[in-house]
A = this chain, B = another copy of it.
Amino acid sequence: MCVGTVAFDKIETPFGKTDKILGGAATYIALSASYFKNIDIGIVSVIGDDFPQTYLDIFDRYGINTEGLKTIEGGKTFFWSGLYHNDMNTRDTLDTQLNVLENFNPVVPDQYTDADIVMLGNLHPAVQLSVIDQVKQPKLIILDTMNFWMDTTYDLLLDVIAKVDVITINDEEARQLSGEYSLVKAARKINEMGPNYVVIKKGEHGALLFFNNEMFFAPALPLEEVFDPTGAGDTFAGGFAGYLTQTKDISFKNMKRAIIHGSNLASFCVEKFGTEKMLELEEDEILERLSNFEALTQFEINLS
């Protein structure tokens, strides 16, 4: 089960621009997780009645349960517009219209209150807290958040962080949250705030997983072309959560695999605009690229 935004995005990159297209953290998380077979995916979010049926049909087609997706009659769906710069690592937010998100009071459908894995996508910490309060005994709560909430609702965000098992956060945000430049030190401080597992996302430079005194690193697959980084972090988180849900194994060893699966799916996301690539992915492409990840990182060294 995941909570997060369902949105209209308008994106401009050096390669072109889009009209208002399907977006939002929960959308990317759920689509990514949907590539793991035989798992139950429900999204908790809110939309306006301007949200087209064709988009709802997409959720349906990918087996994503939308019982927890509330439609506000007369309301408008959350809208975000952003512009990526040449290096694709920096972006400007051109417009944010919270709309129905402003008074979002999440209601977790009964059937999801006993979910094993709960993914809290980027959203107001109050909403994330409310979801935590509504679920019974999840085995794992994963939190994604961003610097905006550190700047605006820091204390509430700390309350959420204290209650989760895994946090995924990017490198700059980890530095901001911890006050430490070294990511090793940053992870240790964030670990002390609550989460047993700290995942630091470094975009094109991969992702680090910290657990106790252990570290694991998954590179991002070097790509010929990055068209649009929108949703990559959410796709990563969705793949991570989806794999753990499917395998029902939350050991550190399995989390490493989950990080690789998340990185793998994220590598597809950025190849086209918005959700486009995630809506046309084939099973064999995914497997082929997983073996590329293996070739990219695995080596044999004689340590005797």
Query: In the complex the two chains form, is A217's CB within 8 Å of B219's CB?
Result: yes
- Could you say which interface size class chain A belongs to? 35 or more
A303 to B288, CA, bound (A): 9
A184 contact set on B, CB distance < 8 A:
222-224
Kindly state whether residue A148 has any CB partner on chain B within 8 Å.
Answer: no
A55 within 8 A of B: no
B183 engages A216 (CB within 8 Å): no
> Across the interface, do A294 and B290 meet the contact criterion of CB distance under 8 Å?
no
> 12 extra interchain contacts, Cβ-Cβ under 8 A, other than A205-B205, A297-B297?
A182-B223, A182-B225, A184-B222, A184-B223, A217-B219, A253-B300, A256-B299, A257-B301, A260-B299, A260-B301, A293-B301, A297-B298
With a cutoff of 8 Å between Cβ atoms, the chain B residues found around residue A91 in the complex are none
By a CB distance below 8 angstroms, the chain B residues around A224 are: 182, 184-185
Copies of this chain in its oligomeric complex: 2
Residue in chain B with minimal CB distance to A216: B296
Fill in one digit per residue for A166-191: 1 if any B CB lies within 8 Å of its CB, else 0. Answer: 00000000000000011111000000
Contact between B296 and A217, CB atoms less than 8 A apart: yes
Whether A206 pairs with B223 at a CB distance below 8 angstroms is: no
Write out the residue numbers on chain B whose beta carbons fall within 8 Å of the beta carbon of A295. Answer: 214-216
Contact A226 B182 (CB under 8 A): yes
The secondary structure that dominates the A interface is: mixed
> In the assembled complex, how far is the CB of residue A233 from the closest CB belonging to chain B, in whole angstroms?
17
**Digit string of A125-146 for contact with B (CB within 8 Å is 1, else 0)?**
0000000000000000000000
The answer to whether B297 touches A301, judged by C-beta atoms less than 8 angstroms apart, is: no
Q: A297-B217, A299-B216 are in contact. Are A222 and B208 (CB under 8 A)?
A: yes
| Residues of chain B with a CB closer than 8 A to A219's CB | 206, 217, 219
